[in-house]
């Protein structure tokens, strides 16, 4: 029987990451759980090991610190048993752009984009060489909607979507599956950490529902999974419109509307 690949999950101590850990442990996968909170990670690891008899390793790391990030990168490069990376670690931030400090903005970008792309970069060559594996990147529907007013957070999630789609085109022919998961408001601790009272929000999705839906998309090998999108055809229409727009771009010719009369 072919052994199941080990799954490395970032932001695994709580919320979406913790539920992913439980679901993959239920499926019989060994896990490497990454987060800052050692105690929470260990408590989760012990519970899942007892329940599902899988091997679980805890790796404490702050992914905004390059020294910690390098340790996780090395593990992804060198551990051939790791066949699935779940880039879940992330943060949000409340307030308007002009109210946010430069340092807080840089911290958000470092965690939501830099860490994610470095970890993907660390594991992708090995998976491509092996001809198998998967990378799951947790984005957000906010990345589709500047109207929501979370400019930096939304920009980082737009990056996650674009990166995932690009990697999917590059890596799927080599046997590596890349999935972008786009939640809407989901009941996790990210809101408290961002200074947002989740009780002021309506129609919040439960985290178990979000992950279970995302795993349906995973099993179907969807490139983009949007659990709260009620009509999947809307996403298909958006992609068709985007490709139609691209067909109208002429690299060497200025559009007529920008030509001035002498």
CATH of the domain at 163: 3.40.50.720
CB count, 10 Å around CB of 70?
13
Q: What element of type H or E holds 23? A: helix 15-26
| pLDDT tens-digit map of 37-61 | 999 999 999 999 999 999 999 999 9
What are the angstrom distances between the C-alpha of 53 and each of 17, 41, 85?
19, 17, 21
- Per annotation, catalytic residue among 20, 153, 177, 258: 153
Distance, C-alpha 34 to centroid of its chain: 14
Q: Would you say residue 54 lies in a domain?
A: yes
> Is 254 among the domain residues?
no
| Domain annotation covers residue 252 | no
- 160-178: per-residue pLDDT in tens? 999 999 999 999 999 999 9
- What is the phi-psi region of residue 11: left when phi exceeds 0, alpha when psi lies from -120 to 50, beta otherwise? left
Would 249 be classed as within a structural domain?
Answer: no
Q: Is residue 81 part of a domain?
A: yes
- The number of distinct structural domains making up the chain is 1
φ, ψ (nearest 5 deg) of residue 168: -60, -45
In a domain, 237, yes or no: no
Q: Cβ(128)–Cβ(168) under 8 Å?
A: no
For the stretch 3-44, pLDDT in tens is: 899 999 999 999 999 999 999 999 999 999 999 999 999 999
Distance of CA 129 to the CA centre of its chain: 23
Report yes or no: 137 and 180 within 8 Å, Cβ to Cβ.
Answer: yes
Identify whether 248 is part of a domain. no
- Residues in a beta bridge with 34: 10, 59
Domain-embedded: residue 246: no
Structure-block tokens of residue 252? 């060497």
Is position 153 annotated as part of the catalytic site? yes
pLDDT, tens digit (0-9, with 9 covering 90-100), for 113-157: 999 999 999 999 999 999 999 999 999 999 999 998 889 999 999
Containing H/E element for 169? helix 151-171
User: Which structural domain, as residue segments, surrounds residue 19?
Assistant: 6-231
First to last CA, the chain: 75
């Amino acid at each position: 029987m072919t052994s199941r690949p080990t799954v490395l999950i970032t932001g695994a101590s709580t919320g979406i990451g913790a539920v992913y850990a439980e679901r993959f442990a239920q499926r019989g996968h060994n896990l490497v759980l990454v987060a800052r909170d050692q105690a929470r990670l260990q408590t989760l690891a012990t519970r899942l090991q007892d329940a599902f008899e899988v091997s679980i390793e805890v790796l404490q790391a702050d992914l905004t610190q390059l020294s910690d990030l390098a340790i996780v990168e090395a593990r992804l490069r060198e551990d051939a048993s790791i066949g699935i990376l779940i880039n879940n670690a992330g943060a949000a931030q409340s307030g308007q752009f002009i109210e946010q400090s430069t340092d807080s903005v840089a911290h958000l970008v470092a965690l939501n984009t830099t860490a994610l792309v470095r970890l993907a970069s660390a594991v992708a060559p090995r998976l491509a060489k092996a001809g198998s594996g998967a990378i799951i990147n947790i984005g957000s529907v906010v990345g589709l909607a500047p109207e929501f007013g979370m400019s930096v957070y939304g920009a980082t999630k737009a990056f996650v979507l674009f990166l995932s789609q690009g990697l999917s085109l590059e890596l799927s022919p080599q046997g590596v599956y890349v999935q972008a998961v786009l939640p809407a408001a989901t009941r996790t601790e990210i809101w408290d950490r961002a200074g947002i009272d989740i009780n002021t929000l309506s129609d919040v999705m439960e985290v178990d529902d979000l992950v279970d839906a995302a795993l349906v998309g995973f099993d179907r090998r969807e490139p983009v999974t949007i659990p709260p999108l009620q009509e999947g055809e809307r996403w298909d229409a958006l992609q068709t419109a985007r490709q139609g727009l691209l067909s109208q771009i002429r690299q060497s010719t200025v559009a007529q509307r920008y030509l001035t009369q002498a």
